[in-house]
Structure 1
Amino acid sequence: MNRLTRAFLGLFAAPRINMREDYGKVRRFQRRLAVMSMPWRRTPYRQTVADAGGRSVSVRVFQPKERRRDDVLLFFHGGGWVTGDIETYTPACATIADLTGCAVASVNYRLAPEHPFPEGLDDCFGIVEQLLENPQRAGIADAANIVLVGDSAGGNLAAALSLKLRQQGHRGAGRQILLYPVTHWDHALATSPFASVREHGEDLRLTSAEVQDYFDMYVPDPERRKDPLVAPLESTDLSGQPTTLVVTAELDLLRDEGEAYGRALARAGNIVRIHRVRGALHGFIQLPRFSRPVREAYAVINAFLDDHLASDENDADAESPGQEAAT
């Protein structure tokens, strides 16, 4: 990427603020922005409250304009485990529902720093466990129709939930979609094992400093950040995981760790597809639905939901733009 292009994309970088001090302001700004982003139409949804280990967790359910699949996408929002909620992700979830033809259930898990690890994960686990064990109670015909989906920190939660379900001997989801997920604990420019952190960690949409702020709030104890439920790449046993789609963004510092997790899943015997969206920045799933990265991502997501894993792509190079299917 040449200097002019990088300078232009830098205009879309997250504001350089002290997230540890200003996360409350960021939350309020995100909610206002979500309301402003859809002024031309109302987004229909049904909101309910589910019990998760004795805690009440709000879940917002979106129906597509045209229901084309029986799948229910259980969605965990991004925001570094610190920002974001079902309100700020309402436009994105409405888009997910319409472009996949699936019902989408967005989980409003507790946020750090008020509720550090594992509290938000526990909220999500309580919801997932109930749905997988008794889907009919939520109006879902078959647990096989439940797909775990998350972006960024939400992708981290989806991966961690699948690991925890297997660890505790519960039935796991059959499929998961991880959108530019956090899978590792080290995002420092000097020590990260991933080239994408050094290439894109300073002046684009998401920065190394911002990710480290999020970790400071989500997992204050640095030693606990190596827990596989925080950093799934640290897991020594990735067997028995769901069929997985990993979607990464080319110009994202999280790119390489997301793809590394996909390859690690494949080496453990799981069915995995990895797709890198060219020219995309972190968080692109919240762009307008007509944008090229969004259209490309949903073409891949819909193919995945239809079980169209391309068998002729087994030798694709996940280090370069494009896609890879592995078993």
Structure 2
Amino acid sequence: MPRAFVTGITGQDGGYLADQLLGEGTEVHGMVRAGDDDAVRDLLARTPGVVLHDGDLGDAEGLRRLIADVGPDEIYNLAGISSVAFSWAEPVLTAQLSGVAAATVLDAAWRLQEDTGRKVACLQPSSAEIFGHADSWPQDESTPVRPVSPYGAAKAYAHHIAGVYRGRGLHVATCILFNHESPRRPLAFVTRKITAAAAQIGAEGFGVIRLGNLDARRDWGWAPDYVDAMVRSVRHEAASDYVVATGQTHTVAEFAEAALRRAGVGDSWRDHVEVDPEFLRPNEAPILVGDASKARRELGWKPTAAFDEVVGRMVDHDMELLKRGKA
């Protein structure tokens, strides 16, 4: 039975990854932070077959020991700072946890491979934010890397260090993930903020969603699809970089409209959306849209859910949560 080690297993992608790996018969080990009790409880309730270990991305020596002790065949390094907005408030922490920690994980994987003489395959997830103000659309694996946020810069370092260890003989795949959503997104993310607020407005008939740049265009997909691409890339015969995206863009305003209409608001949706300067970022990539032709061609991957369906599933989930709360 193959053994996988997953950092960030309590997050959106980590949870879906654990579901998929366990369903395929993989032994799944996950790293969790001390004090993350609620997230751990939720994970174990959904996915009871995982084996959890306390760990900290900021503890390089402890992370190396943990990987050596678990001895995985596959490593998925999903942990780190996941919010662009938060990265502006904590740029150094973001660099450490989303950038430097990736080097620690990959170096530990390389040493494990050297010590055991068996292949250790790794996934280092990248982000469309590494492209920043791209001057061409859609973005693919050849698009220049020039981030415009601390988060993008940290992910760019991790993306490049993956290439360094690939050159050293470690099987490191990178998935350059464009925006991907699900009901498991935390409320701190703008997409879940929108769907939760839309559900509330639909139920009560009043309320306002305060947002930043309504004109920012993003390529939104379904999170379980993107997790499937990660597994495919790790198990592909040759490690490489893969853009994972739908190739379609929508504005933040269109996301809000789709959510509010799903919640039953109808044509009056504009009355429930306001721009709040507090949520405007210092420097934001205006258009991010990916060309996943390589992933389709080499991995046999394709997205399964269209934009309206992704938004609808999230709104339906949040409306159900409201009903349960009132029951």
TM-score by length of 2: 0.38
Compare relative contact order (CA 8 Å, sep 6+) and give the higher one, 1 or 2.
Answer: 2
**Greater helix fraction, Structure 1 or Structure 2:** 2
